[in-house]
Chains A and B, each alone.
Chain A
């Protein structure tokens, strides 16, 4: 079931006493746009969470009959070992064209099957279907451009970074223990953002969806992942993170019926007058202008 609509969406999520996305250049401090003081979360960080969510919730060997009757699978190509360490061989549904790999004409090796291989990868792997992938298929590294485009998330207001020194009541080596005369303590550091509300924008192109076979069922799964991805991404570093809003603008047409950024401007979280420093989602007022949407555009509130 191919997509027949353009979608533009706004994702709002917050963090409380955690580090939403560390900056490897700055010793894992929360990412910061130094000039404006606002926090950043990269697009790839959000995509990672979507992948992990799908990898966790979808049986990685499941074959789903999609609405078109085409068999689809929800495997994740780019995996994180920490989450999915199940390296075992699995049976793949081949397309059964071994004769293509025979013959000594190296140039044509798989030449006719390149498109087929690309389609097969898209059919099997949710993340290839959704975000695209660079594949060494055919000429000049055929790329699959995915229909889903995500931007960096920025915090609504400037964030502050707190640095905490913490102690561990153990040491890692004998030598350290001797040096400390049996005190056996290690100091560590941890950075948190006391509170930050972040907003990211995203786009779904139906034209590119047709090229990768990204369908309505995949879209539903994507929305679900964006709503729930933080619920399955708990860790010591992250603190409390959760999706606070997912506002989807659905266009009646494939080309769209309005400028994406005019639609985005209708979603405006604003710090309440009485609050000096935000520490909770309730410190923000959500101003959502859903009055007189442009013709052919509807707002779907998936969350918030």
Chain B
């Protein structure tokens, strides 16, 4: 089965996702985080993966509907500007002694964030089976699994909106034309992160696309994605 065939037959699941806050960080503004205006395809994919993911499956986001006006909040937090060093950990492990703790006063960074508030989206996505899926991984099996989990509210970890502290409430929508209607707003969102290309495991490359919100809908079915 080649991928194109699969795409024709791909069943689309629609999830309604709601949260108090969200931050889909723009890669060009990572220090003082600034969110994109709407959820990125990669963050949307992660929501589906939090419910079901297997190595044989690749999620493909087709359409995002924005259900609530785009509103902002700015917050500044004290963050730690250091990462756990594997070298120090190794050294302590090997020598049997060492000082590994990290004192936040020495490593403090105050970072502001421009986050989204009160967001709600309807996301439409389907998955395709990868060519190396193996014999006993049929798409029917995963379709049923996803449907079961999403309708019961089951998940591997609670899906989130860009950052883990912004948990998302999700619900499987049976009739995708359900109310509420998306906001009647059109704007050019410029170049936006589509997803990371994990072809090179050591350094994933970002891929971008030209995002246009048309009457509250971001259509991803035919967008051109560039490295």
Whether the pair B101, A79 counts as a contact (CB closer than 8 A) is yes
Whether the pair B153, A120 counts as a contact (CB closer than 8 A) is no
Q: Which B residues are in CB contact (< 8 Å) with A114?
A: 86
Looking at the complex, which one of B86, B106, B155, B157 makes contact with A117 (CB distance below 8 Å)? B86
Q: Whole-angstrom distance from the CB of B142 to the nearest CB of chain A? A: 14
Q: Whole-angstrom distance from the CB of B166 to the nearest CB of chain A? A: 7
Whether the pair A256, B152 counts as a contact (CB closer than 8 A) is yes
Q: Whole-angstrom distance from the CB of A61 to the nearest CB of chain B? A: 12
Given A75-B101, A96-B94, A117-B89: A205 and B156 within 8 A (CB)?
A: yes
- Interface residue A156 (Cβ < 8 Å from any Cβ of B): no
Whether the pair A76, B94 counts as a contact (CB closer than 8 A) is no
Whether the pair A257, B154 counts as a contact (CB closer than 8 A) is yes
Whether the pair A92, B93 counts as a contact (CB closer than 8 A) is yes
- Interface residue B158 (Cβ < 8 Å from any Cβ of A): yes
B92: nearest chain-A partner, CB-CB: A92
Whether the pair A152, B169 counts as a contact (CB closer than 8 A) is no
Question: Is the interface on chain A under 10, 10 to 19, 20 to 34, or 35 or more residues?
Answer: 35 or more
Q: Is the interface of B mostly helix, strand, loop or mixed?
A: mixed
Whether the pair A151, B165 counts as a contact (CB closer than 8 A) is yes
Q: Which A residues are in CB contact (< 8 Å) with B160?
A: 149
Whether the pair B73, A256 counts as a contact (CB closer than 8 A) is no
Once the chains are docked, how many angstroms separate the CA of A171 from the CA of B97? 45
| 12 intermolecular pairs with C-beta atoms under 8 Å apart | A25-B75, A42-B77, A79-B104, A89-B99, A110-B87, A117-B86, A145-B164, A149-B160, A152-B21, A207-B156, A260-B167, A261-B18
Given A121-B84, A140-B203: A89 and B97 within 8 A (CB)?
A: yes
Looking at the complex, which one of A23, A42, A151 makes contact with B20 (CB distance below 8 Å)? A151
Count A-B contacts at CB 8 Å. 181
- Docked complex: A83-140 residues within 8 A CB-CB of B: 84, 87-98, 100-101, 110, 113-114, 117, 120-121, 124-125, 128, 133-140
Residues 195-209 of chain B: 1 if any A CB is under 8 Å from the residue's CB, otherwise 0? 000000111100000
Contacts A94-B93, A259-B169 given; 16 further ones with Cβ under 8 A? A24-B77, A35-B117, A43-B165, A75-B101, A77-B101, A81-B105, A88-B99, A92-B100, A110-B86, A113-B90, A133-B84, A137-B89, A152-B20, A201-B167, A205-B158, A261-B153
Once the chains are docked, how many angstroms separate the CA of A256 from the CA of B150? 11
Once the chains are docked, how many angstroms separate the CA of A4 from the CA of B37? 38
Looking at the complex, which one of A42, A96, A205 makes contact with B157 (CB distance below 8 Å)? A205
Whether the pair A25, B165 counts as a contact (CB closer than 8 A) is no
Whether the pair A140, B76 counts as a contact (CB closer than 8 A) is no
- Interface residue A80 (Cβ < 8 Å from any Cβ of B): yes
B79: nearest chain-A partner, CB-CB: A44
Q: Which A residues are in CB contact (< 8 Å) with B102?
A: 77-79
Once the chains are docked, how many angstroms separate the CA of A207 from the CA of B158? 11
Once the chains are docked, how many angstroms separate the CA of A87 from the CA of B92? 15
Whether the pair B84, A134 counts as a contact (CB closer than 8 A) is yes
- Docked complex: B138-169 residues within 8 A CB-CB of A: 149, 152-158, 160, 164-167, 169
Q: Which B residues are in CB contact (< 8 Å) with A125?
A: 100
Q: Whole-angstrom distance from the CB of A182 to the nearest CB of chain B? A: 36
Once the chains are docked, how many angstroms separate the CA of A145 from the CA of B158? 12
- Interface residue B215 (Cβ < 8 Å from any Cβ of A): no
Whether the pair B157, A128 counts as a contact (CB closer than 8 A) is no
Whether the pair B103, A79 counts as a contact (CB closer than 8 A) is yes
Whether the pair A136, B84 counts as a contact (CB closer than 8 A) is yes
Q: Which residues of A contact B (CB under 8 A)?
A: 8, 23-25, 31, 33-35, 40, 42-44, 75-82, 84, 87-98, 100-101, 110, 113-114, 117, 120-121, 124-125, 128, 133-141, 145, 147, 149-152, 154, 201, 203, 205, 207-208, 253, 255-262
Whether the pair B171, A259 counts as a contact (CB closer than 8 A) is yes
Q: Which B residues are in CB contact (< 8 Å) with A207?
A: 156-157
B166: nearest chain-A partner, CB-CB: A151
Whether the pair A44, B78 counts as a contact (CB closer than 8 A) is yes
B94: nearest chain-A partner, CB-CB: A98
Given A25-B76, A95-B93, A259-B169: A87 and B156 within 8 A (CB)?
A: no
- Interface residue B130 (Cβ < 8 Å from any Cβ of A): no
Once the chains are docked, how many angstroms separate the CA of A253 from the CA of B202? 35
- Interface residue B112 (Cβ < 8 Å from any Cβ of A): yes
Q: Which A residues are in CB contact (< 8 Å) with B71?
A: 35
Q: Which A residues are in CB contact (< 8 Å) with B87?
A: 110
B163: nearest chain-A partner, CB-CB: A43
Whether the pair A203, B20 counts as a contact (CB closer than 8 A) is no
Once the chains are docked, how many angstroms separate the CA of A253 from the CA of B156? 11
- Docked complex: B169-227 residues within 8 A CB-CB of A: 169-171, 201-204
Q: Which A residues are in CB contact (< 8 Å) with B105?
A: 80-82
Q: Whole-angstrom distance from the CB of B6 to the nearest CB of chain A? A: 26
Once the chains are docked, how many angstroms separate the CA of A110 from the CA of B89? 11
Whether the pair A24, B78 counts as a contact (CB closer than 8 A) is yes
Once the chains are docked, how many angstroms separate the CA of A78 from the CA of B106? 11
- Interface residue B27 (Cβ < 8 Å from any Cβ of A): no
